Chains A and B, each alone.
Chain A
Amino acid sequence: MRFIIKHASCGGERVGNLTGFAKMKTAVIETPTAALLTQGGSVVHLTVDVLSKVFTSPHLLWVPLSNSARLEIGVKAQGEGIAKFAGLQGHVTCATLHNASEMTPPGHFEANFVPMWTKNGKKMITADRYMDIMEIYTPDILLAIADSHITLNEGQKRISKSVERSRVLLDTCVNRYVNSKRLQDCALIGVITGTGINEKCDHCIKHLLTHKEHLNGVALSGMTDGSEESLKIEKDKLETIFKSISESIPSELVKFIEGCWTPDIIMTAIQYGWDVFDGSYPSKLTNAGQALALNFDVDKNCDELCLLDLNDVRYKEDFRPILEGCECHTCKKHTRAYIQHLLNTREMLSTVLLSIHNLHHFDQMFVHARRHIASSTFDVYKLHIVKQYERYKQQVPIESDSEKDKDTVQTAKKICVSNDVLENVSIFK
């Protein structure tokens, strides 16, 4: 894989191309971009047939091992990698251990093992086992395994452990990567953790850079454990993190950020030169019955809410599309009233229609960002998006989030407890 920077402003934001993928020679992924989150190998809720109605060009797929581990036997039998096995060979894959936006309960750790939460409970996995699977999956891009699923506010001890453990894990990954024939066309990405404590984070980055010749990029992690609570970080603090870490990374490396960040935060990250985001945000909206409806025209003052909750009965007789003027299949053919009906009757088409719109619209947010960066007007665009999102936050107090969090934690704990009892935490063999 090659990363070519096409335009970089003095402020930090930049547009680039990811190219040179061995399996998809003609594929060009323009950055900044968001990947499409997959689950069990498929883009969440969408068959390849429907996905082709949303995107006609190759896109970046985010493939967490935690939700796709059961595909291993089949991928191995076929021998052509995860994308082909999941019917998505027209796209580019980026594999990682976790979906960073998934809540995982705190658990115990063992030397050399990283916990991985699957639908069947917690599995302990080693770096070698992770790389064994990656040799079978043969993704185009591979995030090194790390112990980084922690919040900014973790205690010093936990953060130190996270950095130390991730150092050892990366060494194994690099060693395996360098000696692997099957992974020679795959790009390796180092994972930054310890983000909560400057000094620890610096250690982590310094170590990453000692392996620079083998790395195509870095991924910023160690900021969230997937909970809503952990995503609530003061703006200034976030800006400092995005800025200082970005500046300490050589510009030729492509910069990833993991986590379910909202559009306003994504804009800030782009401003400091971050290039690739995982696609968990639109999936989260879809699963909640919500639709993103940002206005991208910076000359237009927009007082509509930029997020619609289509569960709301107010849309029962609203025969407008989700977003007037949106070019997606859902908006061209279907109404808010129909989607409200599908949600109300718990019909599966609701998540299909919402996925189509949310993925298209979220992608458009990046298309417009790239255009503005190229024409040096990104600061105007950023302000335009941030304003809309902040107005939404003011009008719709995110009151129930912490309540929801408690529920999720409790469910997650329950799942884990029951599985611990049943399986006594199995080692992923």
Chain B
Amino acid sequence: MGSKSQALLFHIQAECKTTRSRAGLIKLPHYSVKTPVFMPVGTQGTMKGLLPEQLEELGCEIILGNTYHLGNRPGTEVLEKIGGLHKFMSWNRALLTDSGGFQMVSLLKLAEITEEGVKFRSPYDDTEIMLTPEKSIEIQNCIGADIIMQLDDVVQTTFQDYDRIKEATERTSRWLDRCLKAHKRPSEQSIFPIVQGLLNKELREKSARDHMTKNVNGFAIGGLSGGESKDQFWPMVSLSTGILDKHRPRYLMGVGLAIDLVVCVALGVDMFDCVFPTRTARFGCALTNKGQLNLKQKKYETDLNPIDNECTCSTCKNYTRAYLHCIVTVETVACHLISVHNIAYQMRLMKTMRENIEKGTFPQFVKTFVNELYSDGNVPSWVLESLNSVGINIR
């Protein structure tokens, strides 16, 4: 089975002989994206004060937009008139939009989910709105991202009621059919189905198998990273990647912590997104291989080192920890500077993994990475177990 339309072509360029990891290239209408890839989240058509040009310089090849937010502001009329989000925000590389369902359920307490769709009150003008699978695709067709998401029936990951989880999983499959049917631009945009089933093995397996029968170019793994324990998390990722066709890209939604990225790439995931690297920047938190630095701490007051000596980003080239310490949470510039570094960090981590997969040294890289991160030797058991399941023995 190969890709189903010209809107997406996936080439696997190298595969790890030990783990399930692979390095590939996703050819999309606006850009060819090297995988494994991290996609920064630009909720409202912008990324935390950074220019699109800076994102390109940082090596971002694909970024995320939020359908729910963009559908409200600037709205589909404006986007239609200018010819889509790419043109509106002057971003020439690839874009991915979510379906809007997650925002609705997580942001809006009054959302009510029926077979027809998600009913909720608009926080803008208090009118009642129904987001159906058809409506979500209509908005996403208008935004014009290269990859778009089906509307799924979202249930809190730690939810316990089996009947509700079962209903949501099955409804997600039914909604996928409606989304595919409503899709008006299949030659320019690819819909990814979302594997649901939360933490239930049978339901998740069924969801993945259902989606495998559909005419789609890639898959998303959803319903995770929502407060469950890591011991519950990784087996669900592993189960999903084990079923999903290896010739199509696999996207794990809402995951972006460095250790999670390394483990999940080993488990066979190709794409990730997360608001964490840019959100945490606002609070003065910088990412490094040795963990996170909270630059507000007094110990950085006279620390004349850059955030990370090995980083080549413009922040590390021009600024010291001491300077950042003075301005974090006070000046907007601090937020921009740490966002630049944090995105550079994520990009560098993905690039390093890709290179190691290509060179056939991915397992060694994982061992070195884990040992540097947990230099005290206290590697969490879920990391040991998950990596062990794909043939990497840390100890």
Contacts and interface: CB of A to CB of B under 8 A. Distances in A.
Nearest to A332: B90
Contacts of B81: 317, 319
B323 A348 contact: no
B82 A73 contact: no
Given A48-B314, A78-B322, A87-B323, A341 B333 contact: no
A77 interface: yes
A344 interface: yes
A155 interface: no
B320 A85 contact: yes
B307 to A, nearest CB: 13
Contacts of B46: 342, 347-349
Given A74-B320, A74-B322, A347-B44, A50 B51 contact: yes
Nearest to A334: B90
A13 to B, nearest CB: 35
Interface of A: 39-42, 45-50, 53, 70-71, 73-74, 77-78, 85-87, 119, 316-317, 319, 329, 333-335, 337-338, 341-342, 344-345, 347-349, 351-353
A40 B331 contact: yes
Nearest to A316: B78
18 contacts: A40-B326, A48-B318, A50-B51, A50-B54, A70-B326, A73-B302, A77-B302, A316-B78, A317-B77, A337-B74, A338-B45, A338-B88, A341-B88, A344-B73, A348-B48, A349-B46, A349-B51, A353-B51
Interface string B212-225: 00000000000000
Interface string B321-358: 01101110011111111001000000000000000000
A46 B46 CA distance: 16
Contact of A42 (B44, B51, B74, B331): B331
B47 to A, nearest CB: 8
Nearest to B325: A74
B291 interface: no
A153 to B, nearest CB: 34
Contacts of A351: 49, 332
A47 B340 contact: yes
A268 to B, nearest CB: 33
A119 B51 contact: no
Contacts of B77: 317
A49 B340 contact: yes
A214 to B, nearest CB: 32
A316 B49 CA distance: 20
B332 A348 contact: yes
A74 B302 contact: yes
Contacts of B51: 50, 53, 329, 349, 352-353
A390 B69 CA distance: 40
Contacts of A42: 327, 331, 333
A85 B323 contact: yes
B50 A349 contact: yes
Interface residues of B, number: 43
Given A42-B333, A47-B340, A349-B49, A341 B74 contact: yes
A341 B302 contact: no
A74 B320 CA distance: 9
Given A49-B54, A338-B89, A347 B331 contact: no
Chain A CB count within 10 A is highest, among B77, B304, B336, for: B336
Interface string B167-206: 0000000000000000000000000000000000000000
A74 B322 CA distance: 6
Given A73-B302, A317-B78, A348-B49, A337 B88 contact: yes
A337 B82 CA distance: 10
A46 to B, nearest CB: 7
Given A49-B54, A50-B54, A316-B74, 7 more contacts: A41-B323, A53-B51, A71-B326, A78-B322, A85-B320, A317-B81, A352-B51
A86 B50 CA distance: 19
Contact of A87 (B45, B78, B319): B319
B323 A49 contact: no
A70 B73 CA distance: 38
B228 interface: no
B301 interface: yes
B226 interface: no
Nearest to A52: B314
Contacts of B235: none
B52 interface: yes
B73 A345 contact: yes
B327 A40 contact: yes
A341 B73 contact: yes
B49 A347 contact: yes
A40 B336 contact: no
B173 to A, nearest CB: 34
A319 B74 CA distance: 13
A85 B220 CA distance: 45
Contact of B326 (A48, A49, A74, A317): A74
Interface in B1-37: none
A317 B331 CA distance: 31
Interface string B239-256: 000000000000000000
Contacts of B332: 45, 348, 351
Contacts of B78: 316-317, 337, 341
Contacts of A87: 318-319, 323
Nearest to A341: B74
Contacts of A342: 44, 46
A352 B340 CA distance: 14
Nearest to A49: B314
